[in-house]
Amino acid sequence: MVRYHILVTGKVQGVGFRRFTQKQAVNLKIVGWVRNKLDGTVEIEAEGKPQNMNDFITLLWQGPLRAVVDQVQSQPIRGLKGYRRFVIKRNG
């Protein structure tokens, strides 16, 4: 299992990006959270199997239909939080 901090930039707020992210995470058995940041980016912390995480990050580059993703920055984080599900958090 691996854990990543991910920051997505572009037209990613107001287009269903958080719900898209949650759906992809659930399908790939990824746990963690997603939230909109005040600077217009989307922030994600996610845990899962390495191959599932690679697939998840690839899907984030696509995003939902109305999104325009400019960049997906992913940084591995040491240690696991032990999340039980994938949730949408309030803006932060």
Positions marked catalytic:
18, 36
| Spatial distance between the Cα atoms of 4 and 81, rounded to a whole number of angstroms | 11
| Spatial distance between the Cα atoms of 10 and 3, rounded to a whole number of angstroms | 23
Sign for the CA dihedral angle at 6, 20, 29, 36 comes to positive
**HEC sequence for 42-71:** EEEEEEECHHHHHHHHHHHHHCCCCCEEEE
